[in-house]
A and B are shown apart, each in its own frame.
Chain A
Amino acid sequence: MAEDLPIKTILIANRGEIACRVNRAAKELGLQVVQVVSEADIDSLAARLADEVKVIGPPAAAKSYLDTDAILAAAKESGADAIHPGYGFLSESADFADAVEAAGLIFVGPSGDTIRLMGDKAAAREQARKVGVPTVPGSDGVIADMDAALELAEAVGFPVMIKATAGGGGRGIRIADDAETFRKLAPQAANEAKSAFGDGGIYVEKVIERARHIEVQVLGDGHDVVHFYDRECSLQRRRQKVWEEAPSAALNDDTRKRLCDAAVALARSVRYRGAGTVEFLFDDLTGAFHFIEMNTRIQVEHPVTEMICDTDLVAAMIRVCAGSPLGLTQADIAREGHAIEVRLNAEDPANAFMPFPGVVSRLKLPKGEGIRFDHMLYEGYAIPPFYDSLLGKLIVWAPDRAGAIARLEGALGNLEIDGLPTTAPLFAALAQDRDVQSNAVHTRWLELWLEHAADTLTKQGETTT
């Protein structure tokens, strides 16, 4: 049944599994869906699910999914009232958010000004400090002068991370172990950021050894903000998350409360609207947590939060961005059980994670209580080679963490994607690992594990294909 929203038709300015996910939330709200596609995505599942499809350009994302004018023209032609940017692409472009609003449409996300503030990582750190949220020891903002940068690196203590203010997806980051490497790497980080993002600003952060990546899901209506508890995403490969859990099993109740309150304080201080994530590094040795950045969009790993809080975050973000009040207080949000998400990519884990855009010849999906599969697949679908390799996400829920891992193993055993290799064997191996089972992991754990896991992954691959 259609709710009383100022949105009747929503345009999805994204592709892949998140486009399918937004479609599902929009249908729940009774909205019409316009899907924009590149020429490479005319046959996509997202296109099949939509009420109307608009082709906006050739396969290259720069000429389609990143083309603001083409997207706005499609919105105008189809009479859409709102645009959902998903994650990636234009989801954290302040200029895009501004352009959508200037065209008289609703942007399903925060204001351009909020995106601008939180997207500038040095400014975001400053904002966090202002409201008393601890940050990783490091520079107070962008460092203009290399001598000053080195002095500061020595003051916080090596190793330090040199990060691009405008960086993202692991780009524009260097780690220096001493002054000599710092002198060499800092200009590199600045140059890489300048060419990739058009902004050569850098800042310095102390490297926390044995850190966990723990983040808090928030939702705001521009006035009030609530949180939906935490997720742990410490298992990462090349700074990309591959396995995510909710809640983190590393936090006690007191730390969890302080962490979630800090995230809400920060989001409230910028009058946050929409779904967002406040990311922290948690130091296992000291129990301290430090703010690293805020993502001003829905995230890939949002389903684990949806599973433990029994809520539809994508529908909720559409509602608040359409101007509806939150309609709930923190006391209304409960969590129950434990959820795990694994990212299935079209990559061969037994062959250095080589991407493999093949044809899905057969598809068998796991079903049952506590199992969810968010994806972009159907039998006969030819995965286009032009975009990232994420095919879908397997999400499981159980009353406790051990039960969730067991359910994940069972679900992986019932998942068959024939025609191309996927990262499923990696997760089958991880589910059996003693460190993973006892949650003795940190953000560099997976890279180290992978150095010794080649044999395991080859064997797993043989038994599952």
Chain B
Amino acid sequence: MAKHEIKSPIPGTFYRKPSPNEPPFKEPGDKVTKGDTIALVEVMKTFHEIKADAEGTITSFPVDDGEPITAGLTIAELD
């Protein structure tokens, strides 16, 4: 059961990688501290970083890379 959910403040397209040829920012099992960039959301052709707003270990990313998301959607779960 997730203890904390990180939500996207904006709608757009969800990306876990800084660019298509690079590895994801974070994988499930990785520890994060507040302020770590964990994903990008592309909104109207501009990219915005989503940062961790709590400390913990990532248990899952409920959204697939490259999927459209709405504002307020949970994009990562922390333990």
Contact = CB atoms under 8 A, between A and B. Distances in A.
B46 A355 contact: yes
A389 B10 CA distance: 14
B44 A60 contact: no
B24 interface: no
Interface string B1-33: 000000000111100000000000000000000
B15 to A, nearest CB: 12
B45 interface: yes
Given A385-B12, A386-B12, A386-B13, A60 B66 contact: yes
Contact of A388 (B10, B11, B44): B44
B43 to A, nearest CB: 5
A357 B11 contact: yes
A40 interface: yes
B44 A385 contact: yes
Contacts of B72: none
Interface string B25-64: 0000000000000000001111000000000000000000
A80 interface: no
A336 to B, nearest CB: 37
B65 to A, nearest CB: 12
A194 to B, nearest CB: 12
B66 A355 contact: no
Contacts of A370: none
Contacts of A58: 68
Contacts of A385: 10-13, 43-44, 68
Contacts of B68: 40, 58-60, 385-386
A355 B13 contact: no
Contacts of B13: 59-60, 385-386
Nearest to B19: A195
Contacts of B10: 385
Contacts of A388: 44-45
23 contacts: A58-B68, A59-B13, A59-B68, A60-B13, A60-B68, A346-B44, A347-B44, A355-B44, A355-B45, A355-B46, A357-B12, A357-B43, A357-B44, A385-B10, A385-B13, A385-B43, A385-B68, A386-B12, A386-B44, A386-B68, A388-B44, A388-B45, A389-B45
Interface of B: 10-13, 43-46, 66, 68
Given A346-B44, A357-B43, 16 more contacts: A59-B68, A60-B13, A60-B66, A355-B46, A357-B11, A357-B12, A357-B44, A385-B10, A385-B11, A385-B12, A385-B13, A385-B43, A386-B12, A386-B68, A387-B45, A388-B45
